[in-house]
Amino acid sequence: MFRRRSDDAAASATVLEKQDETTQARDPQARKGRPTPKRSEAEANRRNRVTAVPKDRKEAARQGRERMRVEREKQRQALMNGDERHLPARDKGPVRKFARDYVDSRWSLAEFFLPAAVVILVLSIVKVPTLQMLSTLLFLLFFVFVILDFVRLGFGLRKQLAERFAGQNTRGAVAYGIMRTLQMRRLRLPKPQVRRGEKP
């Protein structure tokens, strides 16, 4: 009996010695990476984590909708005033901004496409063969001139992008600018930041 207890004591002593060796193996001057928080700080952090988590799915959905609403409002304001921080991904960056300014500083036939299409549609409805034939001819001519204007604008924009942003990724910027010309100037988003005739 006494021998077994002495054996147990000896074994526990060897375990304690090994633990002391492993704890002393670490440099006492080495930092553990972060300071130990106080008890009050740890409890406060725990309470904050508990309160930050929504209690039910309805509350979580409500908070998600609120965050989306705030983000949409920031994007809307950015589209109105040109704030780069909150613009949608397709409108961000200096390349896209230059493409917008290049288009907004010039007149283009494509921005009058919708008004012209309405006029041509009205002429085609009138029960006068001459006006109907004239509306068809006007539509074809206007369409051809818009295509030529697209080509002119695309070549000019591509050249300017190659000069100003040499070595940078300008993929999609020309198509982005051409699509912008299809909108009337006052309806374009983001709002134009340059006047007509002004250099971008």
Rounded Cα–Cα distance for residues 134 and 118 (Å) = 14
Dihedral (Cα; 125, 188, 194, 175), 10-degree rounding: -90
Q: What is the mean pLDDT of residues 175-180?
A: 95
Q: What is the pLDDT of residue 71?
A: 87
Q: What is the mean pLDDT of residues 47-70?
A: 75
Most confident of the following: 32-36, 88-92, 118-122, 171-175 = 171-175
Nearest to 82 by CA among 92, 73, 69, 72: 92
Rounded Cα–Cα distance for residues 188 and 82 (Å) = 12
**Confidence label for 172 from pLDDT (cuts 50, 70 and 90):** very high
DSSP 34: S
Is the distance from CB of 138 to CB of 120 less than 8 angstroms? yes
How is residue 4 written in tokens? 């077994």
Q: What is the pLDDT of residue 2?
A: 46
Q: What is the mean pLDDT of residues 141-153?
A: 94
